[in-house]
């Protein structure tokens, strides 16, 4: 019970990004534990398939919830790890440019949009129709790429420092990922790659829509459904106080400029080049 209490406390005080990651990991562990017990008892474990997204519309009608649940399922630990690592790094940059409400909407609607593209492809593309009866989608990749492409569209020149590939701008990494998915379609897991592309397209369109909208609202707001689940208890996320909007935006822009300067300094000279104040600023921002 103590472990559950600790996890519950961490979940309540986590930001939206960490909550989504926690949920994905917990669902993966739960389904795999149930699968092990089912195997030991020689019981057929079919519940997993009930939450996967089928391309066949007749099956989809029988399990309409799967357009939502499929994005929380993962085939194996590597599948989960890759998606959560990309979501974590992309999500942190996303939350520096958008709100948690935006994150929630892009994650879920990006996954749904990717799922719909997957269904359309297996019902109308001649090369895929023959697999319509068996094709099923699972994984958070469409949602993750929606987040990643949204922030890559918003801040295309943001530099990511990697010990493996060096410094690379977000726009080039996004371009590489989308091309990799496209050329991989005929090489296996066509449905997964198509769903990924659908999620990426949604993330791109989301930002373009915001740029055109003076009110800067999302397409559809899901927060009235998920407020109780995802409501952050962390006071660090209560941004507005007695300051007016102008003062708040000015201070936020100044803080973001400081962080960007520090990141640029790291990309040029490495982390060791930072002074104590710069390290403290970066540490405090990474906790938000």
Q: What is the pLDDT along the chain (288 residues), one digit of tens a residue?
A: 577 777 777 778 888 999 999 999 999 999 888 888 877 777 676 778 889 999 999 999 999 999 999 999 998 999 999 999 999 999 999 999 899 999 999 999 999 999 999 999 999 988 888 888 889 999 999 999 999 999 999 989 988 877 777 788 899 999 999 999 999 998 888 888 999 999 999 999 999 888 776 544 545 555 544 455 555 444 444 344 444 555 656 677 777 778 777 777 766 666 667 777 777 776 676 555
Closest CA to 140 of 181, 112, 116: 112
For tokens 């939350």, the residue is 95
* Cα dihedral 89, 90, 93, 98 in deg (nearest 10): -140
pLDDT at 193: 92
Cβ pair 218, 210 in contact under 8 A: yes
Q: What is the CATH number of domain 2-235?
A: 1.20.1540.10
Domain residue extents for the chain: 2-235, 239-288
Cα–Cα distance measured from residue 200 to residue 198, given in angstroms and rounded to the nearest whole number: 5
Cα–Cα distance measured from residue 254 to residue 129, given in angstroms and rounded to the nearest whole number: 53
């Amino acid at each position: 019970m103590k472990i559950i209490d600790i996890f519950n406390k961490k979940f309540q005080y986590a930001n939206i990004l960490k909550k989504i990651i926690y949920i994905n990991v917990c669902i993966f562990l739960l389904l795999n534990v149930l699968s092990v017990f089912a195997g030991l008892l020689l019981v057929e474990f079919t519940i997993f398939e009930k939450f996967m997204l089928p391309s066949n519309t007749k099956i989809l009608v029988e399990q309409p919830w799967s357009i939502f649940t499929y994005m929380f399922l993962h085939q194996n630990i590597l599948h989960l790890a890759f998606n959560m690592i990309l979501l974590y790094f992309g999500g942190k940059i996303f939350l520096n440019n958008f709100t948690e409400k935006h994150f929630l909407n892009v994650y879920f609607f990006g996954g749904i949009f990717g799922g719909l593209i997957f269904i359309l492809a297996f019902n109308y593309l001649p090369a895929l129709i023959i697999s319509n009866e068996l094709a099923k989608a699972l994984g958070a990749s469409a949602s993750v790429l929606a987040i990643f492409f949204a922030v890559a569209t918003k801040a295309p020149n943001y530099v990511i420092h990697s010990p493996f590939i060096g410094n690379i701008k977000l726009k080039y990494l996004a371009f590489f990922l989308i091309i990799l998915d496209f050329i991989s379609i005929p090489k296996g897991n066509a449905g997964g790659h198509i769903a990924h592309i659908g999620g990426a397209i949604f993330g791109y369109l989301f930002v373009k829509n915001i740029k055109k909208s003076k009110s800067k609202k999302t397409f559809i707001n899901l927060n009235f459904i998920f407020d109780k689940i995802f409501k952050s208890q962390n006071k660090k996320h209560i941004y507005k106080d007695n300051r007016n909007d102008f003062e708040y935006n000015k201070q936020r822009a100044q803080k973001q400029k400081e962080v960007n300067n520090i990141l640029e300094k790291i990309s040029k000279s490495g982390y060791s080049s930072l002074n104590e104040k710069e390290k403290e600023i970066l540490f405090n921002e990474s906790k938000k």
